[in-house]
Homo-oligomer: A and B are copies of this chain.
């Protein structure tokens, strides 16, 4: 008796002997090789494409002949002529094994394919969505053995795909019968594979083989903006991204003012819930239209947001989040029907909200943890999501700590006299000559510095309108480096600084950045109150990080990750000069971009990641800054720029900070400097 041919699959390396005539798909399944199929080997879906390799394989001691697989057949020919099959590819369900063979499974034929993330340091996402497509042939009804159409459909899915017992929403029950008959008892089903809250269920049925795909939406629900990323659940690709302003803004710019609105106005919370859900539906229309798909094809959605948005989105009055002990209504993840939240997606669509970490550390922070996974880091990483509230994570694979810190909106350009949102016309980069004290800057929308030729032309459409969040950080840091601001945060007089750009503005000095009075443009200054706002914000951020470092019993961290859209634009050097973040090797300070949004996308594309982050969040040590005396101590000590030179030895190798002190002992320290303390949330 001759031995059955040997089949080796690459890249998995899985191998086995199979009888002559065994389809490649069958062999792959038996070996547990990750080879996709929607039609179950019926030559319809073409998901099981494979590439046989011929020739010598000395490593395996094999010679593979051209006859190792069965001949190209009519099904493959039809598929190739109707659509497209890359040269050398075969359909795994059609090609059968004839002799020893090496078979490569290309990435796009793998079920659990990797979705490649752009950043080098980021892990790729393994595709494993909650909802998948299955093609089945259903037994026709038989009066001799009566059973419901649904029961026969479920039985076919169980038998052909080894799926567990599936439920069906009412929407399936009411539409299924004509679809089964239209497809002549052949249908494609979208099946939600179940989670803690939902048993596995049929989400949708198409007659015959469904050629299209299904979509999921990852939503970063921020206080200011709502961003949605539409993903193809079969490929993992982002097919459209869209954003809108959070319509709740009309009830208050920051979260605390929205909480107040709900406290002061009967039905205020419900009003804000309605607003955010309406906004959400507008976003769905927008993103579906961008991708040119039907909204009904969106079967899954993941939301990340801070606790106040989380509660308002779910329709929970955020009242308790406005006062100690900041009790969340629920901290666990939420899995719910989109319909229950009034969201217009597929009628059976499911919505998943990541768990909240604590009353001030929301599902957005959980999403950052999922994206940046400090819990698997070998070195000690500080992850800072800079927004109106800063969420701070510190940890490594041993332990992760989390807190939030009330930075206030200064980092977003609010409460700054010339501040504005990041938009064309806003100053985003600043450089001040330490000798002449002359500032130069760059404006969003232009690549040209203000002292270069062509600058004026390049900004004709926007003009110079203000300073955005990252601009104000660079501005204050540059003012400190240039000796215009002293360590305690006072702007010096023209005499003290040697520049007329400093001018008395009430009882303190301001710094003239751009005098637009002659040209009719905006005049942009930095006031001493602006410096104070930035000091407050950065002290809050730094104190939070310091507090976690105390709890971790460390004095330094190995690396710092700046998350958030804003974090992407911060210059590490300037952030450190300001004393926003602890001292760290500059090349170890990186930006993770919109890590919360990425976390949402991971949870969308890989349902196992949901269980993972739920477990991680349970393990995270939550630190409530409001009740930590050390936080207040750190806060007081952190208002100077930078906090203290000893704390920044690495920074000292990059930059020298002039040892100036502009306090004339008079009353010009109007607002009490580091002694003033406020608590802001939102």
Taking Cβ atoms with an 8 Å cutoff, the residues of A that contact B are 140-151, 167-168, 170, 173-174, 176-177, 196-197, 199, 314-317, 319-320, 324-332, 336, 340-341, 356-359, 622, 624, 626-627
Given that A177-B319, A199-B197, A325-B141 are known contacts, is A170 also in contact with B340, CB under 8 Å in the complex? yes
Q: A327 touches which one: B141, B326, B624 (CB < 8 A)?
A: B141
A340 surroundings in chain B (CB, below 8 A): 170
Given contacts A141-B325, A170-B315, A174-B316, 5 further A-B contacts (CB under 8 A): A145-B622, A147-B328, A148-B332, A177-B316, A177-B319
Task: Provide the bound-state CA to CA distance between A279 and B150, in Å.
Answer: 28
Interface of A is mostly: loop
A324 to B340, CA, bound (A): 38
Within the complex, the shortest CB–CB distance from A520 to chain B, in Å, comes to 52
Count of chain copies = 2
Return chain B residues, CB-CB under 8 Å to A151.
330-332
Q: How far is the CA of A314 from the CA of B175 in the complex (A)?
A: 11
**Bound CA–CA A622/B622 (angstroms):** 60
Closest-CB distance, A320 to chain B (whole angstroms):
5
Query: Min CB distance, A559 to chain B, in Å?
Result: 27
Question: Hey, which chain B residues are within 8 Å of A148, CB to CB?
Answer: 327-332, 356
Shortest Cβ distance from A355 into B: residue = B148
Please tell me if the beta carbons of A328 and B627 are within 8 angstroms of each other in the complex. no
13 A–B contact pairs at CB < 8 A?
A141-B327, A143-B626, A143-B627, A144-B627, A146-B357, A146-B358, A149-B327, A149-B329, A151-B330, A151-B331, A167-B197, A168-B330, A177-B319
Q: Which residues of B contact A199 (CB under 8 A)?
A: 196-197
CB distance from A682 to the nearest CB of B (A): 18
Name which residue of chain B comes closest to A314, CB basis.
B173
Write the nearest CB–CB distance from A244 to chain B, whole angstroms. 24
- C-alpha gap A141/B331 in the complex (Å): 12
> Which residue of B is nearest A356, CB measured?
B148
- Complex: chain B residue closest to A618, CB-CB: B147
Task: Considering the complex, give the chain B residue whose CB is closest to the CB of A360.
Answer: B146
Given contacts A314-B170, A320-B177, contact A329 B144 (CB under 8 A): no
Q: Do A176 and B624 form a contact, CB below 8 Å, given A170-B314, A324-B143, A359-B146?
A: no
